[in-house]
Structure 1
């Protein structure tokens, strides 16, 4: 699970580990490596909001990875 607020970005693993990713970007799941690569590129080369970066990165991962679908839900609190 990925959790974040304005100051922190954390990955909570299934083993109970709490991981703070490098570069302020992370991804999980079968298409995680594709989404991570896309998100890193988008953060460096666009002015998209964090929500827009997440949506676009997931969309790109879904186009590449057969195990990742394009039913994307981003929940903001």
Structure 2
């Protein structure tokens, strides 16, 4: 879903749980700078999970702005996502941010980007970043064929597969679940 180099983030919803997993690799060009970055984190006192792809400083700005929206709208993830996307799209400085994020409250999942999109995936998985489509394909296959796996297990296995295919993704995986 994204051409951002340097990461894979996938969100999976199954049996009333949502897991977001991401790799830890940070790159600059063809150099690995770090392999244990935390691109998946909780917000709003642990009630929201989110993962980002793109420039790190831009992602931290988005985390902060999204948490402000969550507080402003009493944790309403839909309203907060829409308001963040509107602000991101219309604010001249924010439009320069090069990142996108997946957010979930444990039931809903949204992709938010600087084009003003707030996408609720049609299926129970979505991926972003350079390895996002690899992870998404794996997650959808697991959802269809592996009923014994949890959302968390599918998310982790999907990023592991992406790490084998995408040179900007590693297998140092952080996962959060609600």
Greater helix proportion: 1
Q: Distance in 2 between matches of 1:11 and 1:76?
A: 17
| Partner residue, 1:52 | 153
1:19 aligns with 2:119: yes
Equivalenced residues, count: 77
Report Cα offsets for 1:11-61 as digits up to 9, x if no partner: 122444211111121001000110010000000011211111100000000
1:34 aligns with 2:134: yes
In structure 1, stretches of 5+ residues that fail to align are none
- RMSD value over aligned CA atoms? 1.4
Greater strand proportion: 2
- Aligned residue for 1:56, secondary structure, equals helix
Measured after TM superposition, the shift of residue 5 of structure 1 is 3.2
| Higher RCO by CA contacts (8 Å cutoff, separation 6 or greater) | 2
Q: Distance in 1 between matches of 2:168 and 2:106?
A: 30
| Partner residue, 1:9 | 109
Structure with higher Rg: it is 2
Q: Distance in 2 between matches of 1:25 and 1:76?
A: 14
